[in-house]
């Protein structure tokens, strides 16, 4: 099963999601990330945070949703509502859900405030991924409506 984490810039939230998912997921589950307008580089604070958590960032880069190496089975948009952010809509026969989280890369404040925003974003993403991985995926594959409801429920975890 391939899960695509999608946002606009693919430099922070979607990459945090991709790396965390791949770090925690068992064999047979794989995450990728992409953006509709990729920034072209990973946010250095996102990379530093993942490294502090012991999560490899090797091979990760900001990429366009036009350059996906595989077709996703599930698309999870992670765009937030800050500053009226518009989330790209992935078209195609996939299961879609929205796990919005505001972009910590846009936080302005002290060093401690910015770091706290990154930690909060990571904690939210990790909790959602852990909830996803705890689902009875074998059961849900055969019940698309229930699977979608479970994915949407996970998007409310903060």
- Annotated catalytic residues are 7, 79, 87
Tokens of 54: 């012991």
Q: What value does the CA radius of gyration of the chain take, rounded to a whole number of Å?
A: 15
SS3 17: helix
Determine phi and psi for 33, rounding to 5 degrees.
-135, 160
Q: What is the DSSP letter of 84?
A: G
Half-sphere exposure of 122 (CA within 13 A, CB side): 21
């Amino acid at each position: 099963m391939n899960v695509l984490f999608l946002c606009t810039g693919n430099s922070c939230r979607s990459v945090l999601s991709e790396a965390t998912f791949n770090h925690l997921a068992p064999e047979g589950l794989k995450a990728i990330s992409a953006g509709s307008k990729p920034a072209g580089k990973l946010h250095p604070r996102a990379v530093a945070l993942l490294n502090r958590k012991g999560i490899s960032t090797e091979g990760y880069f900001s990429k366009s949703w036009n350059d996906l190496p595989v077709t996703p089975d599930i698309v999870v948009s992670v765009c937030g509502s800050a500053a009226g952010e518009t989330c790209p809509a992935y078209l195609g026969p996939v299961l879609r859900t929205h796990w919005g989280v505001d972009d910590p890369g846009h936080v302005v404040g002290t060093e401690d405030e910015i770091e706290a925003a990154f930690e909060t974003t990571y904690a939210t993403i990790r909790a959602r991924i852990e909830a996803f991985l705890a689902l009875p995926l074998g059961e849900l594959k055969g019940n698309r409506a229930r699977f979608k409801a479970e994915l949407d429920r996970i998007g409310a975890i903060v």
